[in-house]
Structure 1
């Protein structure tokens, strides 16, 4: 019974502050959508796929099980080499980028394909052309770096990035950000509604007396609004002259 009463009180508070909750929720969603659209710079991805293989000249082109396993392990090693400053600084020099090796590394994402000799290299920037230039140049410099340092030529670029495949905006997500803003606004407005109800000690209705004081209502004194007061004054004013006129007539009759 007490639990049902508490749920009823919660519903009463939500219903009383419904307009406040709806207003804050919609305002929060609108702010989130406008902020996402006008103040967050769009981001574009460009991805290229790199294959790690072994060249066995003079032998069968079919891979042995050990060779495939070795190449799969090399994928993890090469993923680390891509973020090495020797590779990134060369890319910065080639493209004349105004950034450090650490900043460039923050734009790159290496994603090994599980149980595969292929991994994906992705660059995310504010321009699709810039993303394509960076990711393709990083792949080329990485391929040459592996060949020069490790003395092996077992890296191939399967599919270079193109502007056509990188023209779609990947961030920010307007729908998702708006939904998040609406959810945050709803939680904030509900919390504010309960806080205002908790701080409000005023009693305005009979329900407030029963709900807050737990006392029965014995009687109610009606409230007369300003318009009703004005009408009462007009009626009383219009009734007074007629009364005097009747009295005056009676006195004049007696005088005769």
Structure 2
């Protein structure tokens, strides 16, 4: 019972401390949100994605009837084809064709290849701070990749079903998300400091503290006066 009572009293003290510092809490939260917004809007470089879709077939004759087993096999080939697309055989040729001032490793970091919902469709994505640059590189990849894949695998084929797109909106930074995250960090930081101050405060500040910590009855209180007026 004593432990439960102390826990309730501690929680009350914490809530009281939060109310006392409510303006500070609001100010810091808004200031943190403003910092997050400003950093995202003016300091971070926007990134754009350009994507294209390719479908994987296990047979080079794409006009022939396709069975479910062939579809399953094609789905499994997506991971193999993804590795080939991101290999230096493809990307170095893209660099040479476009005359890019990048190394293979640098371009590789900007390219992602993934299956779409575990299907035989691959999504090739190129990210850059220039939407047109990303589109050109993505377009060149889907131009070079099919012939390289056919030569390497010697079976099956890939076909472009969606050309490289030109992004109109950046994919990062997410200004709204960053602003809310910064506000949450500011809020939690102030709450943490307030809670820490309450937990570390072992001073006798009020008559209630005398009863709580010393288990003694308060007989009287001497008020504090400041310049002739009662302060507290």
* Class of the TM-score when normalised by the shorter of the 2 chains: 0.7 to 0.9
Deviation at 1:218, TM superposition (A): 2.6
Aligned partners of 1:62, 1:19: CA distance in 2, in Å? 71
Partners of 1:91 and 1:134 within 8 A in 2:
yes
Match of residue 29, structure 1, among 12, 18, 33? 33
What secondary structure sits across from 1:45 in the alignment? strand
Q: Is the 8 A contact 1:21 1:193 kept in 2?
A: no
For structure 1, which segment, 103-112 or 213-222, has the greater mean C-alpha deviation from structure 2 after superposition? 213-222
Deviations 1:31-62 (A, max 9, x none): 111111111111111110001222338xx732
Return the structure number with greater helix share: 1
Out of 40, 44, 60, the position equivalent to 2:44 is 40
Please tell me whether the aligned partners of residues 108 and 123 of structure 1 are also in contact (alpha carbons under 8 angstroms).
Answer: yes
- 1:1-256 aligned within 5 A: 1-53=5-57, 54-56=59-61, 61-152=64-155, 154-163=157-166, 166-200=167-201, 203-210=204-211, 213-226=214-227, 228=229
Query: 2: CA distance between counterparts of 1:199 and 1:63?
Result: 72
* Alpha-carbon displacement from aligned partner over 1:167-210 (angstroms, at most 9, x marks no partner): 12111111111111111111111111123344555555444545
Give the TM-score normalised by the residue count of structure 1: 0.77
Shift of 1:124: 1.4
* CA distance 1:214–1:39, shift in 2 (3 Å): farther
Q: Which runs of 5+ in 1 are unaligned?
A: 230-256
Deviation at 1:211, TM superposition (A): 5.0
- CA distance in structure 2 between the aligned counterparts of 1:148 and 1:108, rounded to whole angstroms: 22
Cα distance between partner residues in 2 of 1:115 and 1:21 = 47
CA deviation string 1:216-238 (max 9, x = no partner): 43333333333759xxxxxxxxx
- Residues 1:172 and 1:115: Cα distance change in structure 2 (over 3 Å): closer
Q: Distance in 2 between matches of 1:224 and 1:65?
A: 90
Equivalences, count = 225
Give, in whole Å, the separation in 2 of the partners of 1:204 and 1:130.
66
Larger radius of gyration: 1
TM-score between the two structures when normalised by the length of structure 2: 0.84
SS of the aligned residue for 1:170 comes to coil
Q: Distance in 2 between matches of 1:177 and 1:184?
A: 10
Distance 1:27 1:169 in 2: 25
